[in-house]
Amino acid sequence: MYVAVKGGERAIENAHALLAERRRGDRDVPELTLAQIGNQLTLAVDRVMSEGSLYDRELAALAIKQARGDLVEAVFLLRAYRTTLPRFGASQPLNTDGMDLRRRISATFKDLPGGQMLGPTFDYTHRLLDHNLAAGTEIPQAPLAPAPDTAARSVAALLSDDGLIEHPPEGHGEPADLTRDPLNFPAGRDLRLQNLARGDEGFLLALGYSTQRGYGRNHPFVGEIRYGEIEVGFLAEEIGFAVPLGTIEITECQMVNQFSGGDSEPPRFTCGYGLTFGQGERKAMSMALVDRALRATELGEATGAPAQDQEFVLSHSDNVQATGFVEHLKLPHYVDFQSELGLLRKLRADYFAQTDRADTQKAAE
C-alpha cells in the first residue's frame, strides 16, 4: 500500500552524514591537510580560484577538500562564499610589464628583451608515469637563476612601437561587473573578458580549439605567455593614493592575430587577451582565442561560428550555472511528467480511435 512519501528531512540528514563519511575515506589513511592541497595540488587550487573569482589559496584548498576533489563543485563553494563578501571597489589596473616573472615564453620571437624563461612547466616532459613519485622519493633542490635585470616589456608593446599591432583599448573608468549587474547583450569587451575569466576551462578550451579547426579561424600566434607574481594596488579615496593590497600570482596570454585594416586604416595585427589567477596557461590561451573570436563583428570579419557568437559563448561559459541547471534534472518533476503522460494518453487514444475507424471502414468495404 502506498504511503504518502514522508521523511525527506531525515533522509537528507542521513545522506549528508554518508557524504562526510565517504569524504573522509579509510580512517587508517592520514587526513588531507589544507597545506598539502595548497602546496601539492597547486594547479587545482589555481583553477578553483580563477573560476571561483576569489583569490584565496586557503579557502580554495578548503573548497577542494570539501568537494572531494570535484573542482566544479569547489568553484561553486568558493563562489557561494564570495557572494557574501562586501565589494569595496576595483583595483588599479595591473601593469604586467613589471611582473616578477617565473615563466615567460614567446612563440613569435626567438629572443626578446627580458629573454625566454621556461619556468615550471609540463611542456617538454615525457608523459611517462613516474613510479618514483609513487614511492615518495626525495626531490633534489631545483637550481634557480637570479632574476634578469632587463625589463620584460610585452611583445604587444614591442610590436606596437612600430605600429604593427593595434593599440590596447583605452579604459573608461570603472569596469563593468557581471556579479553586480545582469549580463546584457551586446556586451562590451570588459564584460566579455570578465565572463571568460570566470568561465569553465573545458568549455573555453573546446571553443578555442574550434576556432583553430576553422569555425571562426583567426590565425593566432602566442605573442607571449607570462606567469609570475604581481602586486595589486587599490586607490584609497580617503588618502588620495594607491595602497598595495598584496601580491598575487597570475598568468597572462597575449595572442597576436591576423591583421585588420583597409582603406581607411593601415593593416596591423590584432590581439586576443587571456588572464587567470595562478598558473593557468591552457585557460589563458583558450580565453585569448575566444576573446579574439568574439571581436569578429567589431573587426568586420565574417561571423557565424559558435566561438564568435557572444550570446552563445557568454550565456554558457559559467560552469556553476551550467552544472546547476543540468543537474537540476535530478529534482522531482512528477507534476510536469504527469501532465505529459495525460496528454500522451489522450493523443494515443485519438490515434487508436482513428485507426479503429479506418479498419472498420475497410472491413465494411
Partner 1 sequence: MTAPVYNFAYLDEQTKRMLRRALLKAIAIPGYQVPFASREMPMPYGWGTGGVQVTASILGPDDVLKVIDQGSDDTTNAVSIRKFFTRTAGVRTTTHTREATVIQTRHRVPETPLTEGQILVYQVPIPEPLRFLEPRESETRRMHALSEYGLMHVKLYEDIARHGHIATSYAYPVKVMDRHVMDPSPIPKFDNPKLDDCPALQLFGAGREKRVYAIPPYTRVVSLDFEDHPFEPYRHAADCELCGASDSYLDEVITDDQGSRMFVCSDTDYCESRRMRDGGNG
- Shortest distance, CB of residue 81 to partner 1, whole angstroms? 7
Please choose, out of 38-46, 189-197, 232-240, 324-332, the segment that lies near partner 1 by the rule CB under 8 A. 324-332
**Is residue 125 part of the contact set for partner 1 (CB under 8 A)?**
no
Dihedral (C-alpha) 200, 319, 212, 217: value to the nearest 10 degrees?
A: -110
Distances (CA, A) of 12 to 47, 63, 110, 161: 30, 21, 60, 63
- Shortest distance, CB of residue 58 to partner 1, whole angstroms? 6
For partner 1, the closer of residues 68 and 167 by Cβ is: 68
Please choose, out of 108-116, 226-234, 292-300, 334-342, the segment that lies near partner 1 by the rule CB under 8 A. 334-342
Of 47, 57, 79, 102, the one binding partner 1 (CB under 8 A) is 79
- Residue 226 Cα to chain centre, angstroms: 17
Of 41, 44, 59, 156, the one binding partner 1 (CB under 8 A) is 59
Interface size with partner 1, residues (CB under 8 A)? 54
**Is residue 315 part of the contact set for partner 1 (CB under 8 A)?**
yes
- Shortest distance, CB of residue 2 to partner 1, whole angstroms? 5
**Is residue 334 part of the contact set for partner 1 (CB under 8 A)?**
yes
For partner 1, the closer of residues 150 and 321 by Cβ is: 321
**Is residue 88 part of the contact set for partner 1 (CB under 8 A)?**
no
**Is residue 297 part of the contact set for partner 1 (CB under 8 A)?**
no
**Is residue 2 part of the contact set for partner 1 (CB under 8 A)?**
yes
Distance CA 294, CA 272 (A): 9
Please choose, out of 92-100, 166-174, 245-253, 320-328, the segment that lies near partner 1 by the rule CB under 8 A. 320-328
Of 328, 361, 364, 365, the one binding partner 1 (CB under 8 A) is 328
Of 14, 342, 352, 360, the one binding partner 1 (CB under 8 A) is 342
Of 264, 332, 362, 364, the one binding partner 1 (CB under 8 A) is 332
For partner 1, the closer of residues 36 and 339 by Cβ is: 339
Of 90, 147, 343, 358, the one binding partner 1 (CB under 8 A) is 343
Q: Which of 289, 325, 288, 295 is nearest to 309 (CA)?
A: 295
Q: SS3 for the chain, per residue?
A: CCCCCCCHHHHHHHHHHHHHHHHHCCCCCCCCCHHHHHHHCHHHHHHHHHHHCCCCHHHHHHHHHHCCCCHHHHHHHHHHHHHCCCCCCCCCCCCHHHCEEEEEECCCCCCCCCCCECCCCCCCCCCCCCHHHHHCCCCCCCCCCCCCCCCCCCHHHHHHHCCCECCCCCCCCCCCCCCCCCCCCCCCHHHHHHHHHHCCHHHHHHHHHHHHCCCCCCCCEEEEEEEEEEEEEEEECCCCEEEEEEEEEEEEEEEEEEEECCCCCCCEEEEEEEEEECCCHHHHHHHHHHHHHCCCCCCCCCCCCHHHCHHHHHHHCCHHHHHHHHHHHHCCCHHHHHHHHHHHHHHHHHHHHHHHHHHHHHHHC
Find the binding residues for partner 1 in span 127-186 (CB under 8 A): 179-186
**Is residue 80 part of the contact set for partner 1 (CB under 8 A)?**
yes
**Is residue 6 part of the contact set for partner 1 (CB under 8 A)?**
yes
Find the binding residues for partner 1 in span 7-36 (CB under 8 A): 7-9, 11-12
Q: Give contact residues for partner 1 (rule: CB under 8 A).
A: 1-2, 4-9, 11-12, 58-59, 62, 76, 79-84, 86, 179-186, 311, 315, 320-321, 323-328, 331-336, 338-343, 346-347, 350
